[in-house]
Structure 1
Amino acid sequence: MTLHIRDASTEDIDFLAAMLLEAVNWRQDRQTATLQSIMNTPDLWHYLSDWKRSSDFGFLAHEADKPVGAAWVRFMTAEDPGYGFVDEDIPELGMGVVSTHRGQGVGRVLLERTVRASADRGLRGLSLSVEDENERARALYVSNGFAVAGRSGNSDTMVLRF
């Protein structure tokens, strides 16, 4: 598979929302969220609402001119934290891959590109949240240097510091 990676733009909001939905519905046997339910859930929609703020950035992966995955970075506040919040100076990473392309390296390419871009921008690190049962994603994050920094419910908050 040949992937083309490009910067995410304001016009990509619909695909980013679809990838947020993929991330929420990562388990094939438990796909209960809908795009409408995500948009109506502030704890989820704040990952993309008002995209693209001046500090927001991200990437889309394309195969044969079709988007197959996305990763994006957003700063959260202590008043409105995300699930992977650790500090207002460390943004959260959001990432999703179309289900038909999971396990083919799309997530790894997107993650590595996003980590590199974050370090190049002088960020202090990246954080994220990963559910206990999402072993494939957890292994990807650990292999890229993320470490557990906290716990909430059935998820770990992981951080990669630069």
Structure 2
Amino acid sequence: MSAFRIRPANGDDARILADMLVEAANGNSPRVRPRVAVLDDPHVMRYIAGWKRPGDFGCIAEDAHGAAVGACWARLFPANAPGSGFVAVGVPELTLGVNAQWRARGVGRALLQELGRAAAATGAARLSLSVDRRNFAQRLYVSEGYVTVESRLTADTMVRAVR
């Protein structure tokens, strides 16, 4: 396993989160969407717009040189403007993005576990997410205790109790 470290995400990390949001959006796509196409989509941008607002938390994985290689963060959404993985008011919805060269090297799992610890520290009882069924990350989520609570055409909404 290559060396990486995880640190808390802070208010200056919006660009890193944008980079990892692009990675997440292209994670399982046979056709890579350009950065501008991903970040021009208001449905996608709501996951990072105004970072870091009250209730936001997350973590960043960095390589041995301090370059970001992954990020996992959570945000609360209101019922009248829900995210794709919205299950209820007060349940943070997470996003996980890992640089393609760092996938399948333990980064995603480490970030997901660290986010779970951060969620517990905020007092959250559950975390939710939305994942395309074709995305290999779905297996990671299942192995970390996430269960499907709703299925749509190509994606599942998953939830895990925070320990």
Q: Is it true that 1:124 corresponds to 2:125 in the alignment?
A: yes
**What is the identity percentage for the equivalent residue pairs of Structure 1 and Structure 2?**
41
Where does structure 2 lack aligned partners over 5 or more consecutive residues? none
Aligned residue type for 2:134: E
Counterpart of 2:154 in structure 1 is 154
Could you tell me whether the CA contact under 8 Å between 2:72 and 2:96 is conserved in 1? yes
RMSD: 1.2
Once residues 29 and 41 of structure 2 are traced to their aligned partners in structure 1, the CA distance between those partners, rounded to angstroms, is 21
Aligned residue type for 1:38: V
Deviation at 1:161, TM superposition (A): 1.9
Deviation at 1:28, TM superposition (A): 5.5
Q: Is it true that 1:100 corresponds to 2:101 in the alignment?
A: yes
Once residues 152 and 58 of structure 1 are traced to their aligned partners in structure 2, the CA distance between those partners, rounded to angstroms, is 27
1:103 partner SS: coil
Deviation at 1:98, TM superposition (A): 0.3
Once residues 50 and 74 of structure 1 are traced to their aligned partners in structure 2, the CA distance between those partners, rounded to angstroms, is 11
Could you tell me whether the CA contact under 8 Å between 2:22 and 2:39 is conserved in 1? no
Matches within 5 A, 1:2-13: 2-13=3-14
Once residues 31 and 84 of structure 2 are traced to their aligned partners in structure 1, the CA distance between those partners, rounded to angstroms, is 19
- Give CA-to-partner distance per residue, 1:99-144, whole Å, 9 cap, x none: 000000000000000011111221021000111111x211111111
Where does structure 1 lack aligned partners over 5 or more consecutive residues? none
Once residues 9 and 95 of structure 2 are traced to their aligned partners in structure 1, the CA distance between those partners, rounded to angstroms, is 13
2:12 partner SS: helix
Size of the alignment, in residue pairs? 160
Once residues 35 and 54 of structure 2 are traced to their aligned partners in structure 1, the CA distance between those partners, rounded to angstroms, is 25
Once residues 53 and 38 of structure 1 are traced to their aligned partners in structure 2, the CA distance between those partners, rounded to angstroms, is 21
Which TM-score applies when normalising by structure 1?
0.94
Aligned residue type for 2:143: S
Which TM-score applies when normalising by structure 2?
0.93
Aligned residue type for 2:133: D
- Give CA-to-partner distance per residue, 1:28-71, whole Å, 9 cap, x none: 62212x33223322211000000000210111001111110000
Counterpart of 2:53 in structure 1 is 53
1:69 partner SS: strand
1:10 partner SS: coil
1:82 partner SS: coil
Deviation at 1:78, TM superposition (A): 1.3
Matches within 5 A, 1:17-56: 17-27=18-28, 29-32=30-33, 34-56=34-56
Counterpart of 1:15 in structure 2 is 16
Once residues 130 and 59 of structure 2 are traced to their aligned partners in structure 1, the CA distance between those partners, rounded to angstroms, is 19
